[in-house]
Copies of this chain bind each other. A is one copy, B any other.
Amino acid sequence: MIPAKAYAALDEKSPLQPYSFERRSIGSHDVQVKILFCGVCHSDIHQARNEWGGSIYPMVPGHEIIGEVLATGSEVSKFAIGDLVGVGVMVDSCGTCKNCSRDMEQYCEEGMTGTYNAIERDGKTIAQGGYSSVIVVKEHYVLSISRKLDPAAAAPLLCAGITTYSPLKFANVQPGQKVAVVGLGGLGHMGVKFAVSFGADVTVISTSPSKEADAVRLGAHHFLLSTDKEAMKKHNSHFDVILDTVSADHDYTEYLDLLDLEGKLLIVGLPSKEPSLSPFSLITKRRSIIGSMIGGINETQEMLDYCADKNIVSDVEVIPMQYINEAYERMVRSDVKYRFVIDLSTL
């Protein structure tokens, strides 16, 4: 077994605290990774605090992992010691169902195995995430990271990056298309970067006028204040694609109405109250609503290679491990531009 230092939630009420545990010894297809950086995703908070129910404790959160290969199993062919690698939201899946066979392990019919807050496929080990010194992961679920990228700023690509890249690709966003991104947070700011890089004409839609300057800095061409009913009305039937990254409770009709003929509303956020929508708005322009969840391993590698090519990373604030509880409080207040990333050397 491999000793690991970490920060963990021991129950849903307590702040995260130092925690020691053991990773499995590396098997023939495993890669042992020394964790350098780990992004802090809003879902880390939801799960640490059991806000979605069913949380498993002790819980070491973190699924935006960047590290260096320390050791490899005898059958590992893709990686060598010293390689810069990433681990995202999943560390396993059945590998044989029709969705896994189509490189969409995130939609595995048996359910993908999450990087943390999950039971591994041995049926007993609690999967533990990236707020830790080391992780052991099956080769197939390890991604290659280019040395061209700043490793701290690349960490959020493993969740926020692929979560926004995948639906924009699925919607087949083309140069010149009008794309809106709703919500400028960890997900939204990556959505803007990708949509701009695809050559789209990009609008940020936000409830907060203070986001306009940043939207422009990130490359967006327009800003639309969603509380300005007159401006919203002017954008009726305007967009080809809208990427809705908001997890706060909201209905879909307001954004559906902004879509042109056959426009697509891409949903990646998870409001806790079920949104309603106007069937009239859907029907009168053949609009659609499409859900999307992270991306498959092949697509994640494609996204990482694309980011290396285009020099796309996340805007991050690097923090020491000890700052995590304060970081959580600031995230709840949306006081981060746009992702905290833990420097694990501080552990």
List the interface of chain A (C-beta within 8 A of B). Answer: 98-99, 102, 104, 107, 109, 170, 237, 251, 253, 261, 267-271, 274-293
A264 to chain B minimum Cβ distance, whole angstroms, is 8
- Report the bound CA distance from A277 to B282 in whole Å: 14
Distance of A103 from chain B, by nearest CB (Å): 12
Do A285 and B291 have beta carbons less than 8 Å apart? yes
CB distance from A250 to the nearest CB of B (A): 10
Q: A98 — which chain B residues lie within 8 A by C-beta?
A: 261
Nearest-CB distance from A118 to chain B (Å)? 15
User: Which residue from chain B places its CB closest to the CB of A294 in the assembled complex?
Assistant: B283
In the complex, which residues of chain B have a beta carbon less than 8 angstroms from the beta carbon of A288?
288-291
Q: Is the CB–CB distance between A274 and B253 below 8 Å? A: yes
Q: Given the complex of chains A and B, what is the CA–CA distance between A288 and B282 in angstroms?
A: 12
Cβ–Cβ < 8 Å partners of A269 in chain B: 279
**B279 engages A290 (CB within 8 Å):** no
Q: Do A267 and B283 touch across chains, with their CB atoms under 8 A apart?
A: yes
Q: How far is the CB of A107 from chain B (nearest CB, A)?
A: 5
Given A270-B279, A274-B253: A107 and B293 within 8 A (CB)?
Answer: no
6 chain-A/chain-B pairs, Cβ below 8 angstroms: A107-B284, A267-B279, A274-B279, A282-B291, A286-B290, A286-B292
Contacts of A284 in B (CB 8 A): 107, 291, 293
Q: Which residues of B contact A99 (CB under 8 A)?
A: 261
CA distance A83 to B144 in the complex (A): 68
Distance between Cα atoms of A267 and B287 in the complex (Å): 10
Q: A107-B261, A276-B276, A286-B291 are in contact. List 7 more A-B contacts (CB 8 A).
A: A98-B261, A99-B261, A107-B285, A267-B283, A275-B277, A282-B291, A287-B290
Q: How far is the CA of A104 from the CA of B262 in the complex (A)?
A: 11
Question: Is A280 a contact partner of B270 (Cβ separation < 8 A)?
Answer: yes
A96 to chain B, nearest CB (A): 15
Chain B residues contacting A289 (CB-CB under 8 Å) are: 277, 282, 288-289
Chain B, residue nearest A163 (CB) = B283
Q: Which residues of B contact A251 (CB under 8 A)?
A: 274
- CB-CB < 8 A to A287: which residues of B? 290-291
How far is B274's CA from A288's CA once the two chains are assembled, in angstroms? 16
> Which listed residue (B253, B261, B268, B285) contacts A283, Cβ 8 A?
B268
Partner of A275, one of B109, B237, B279: B279
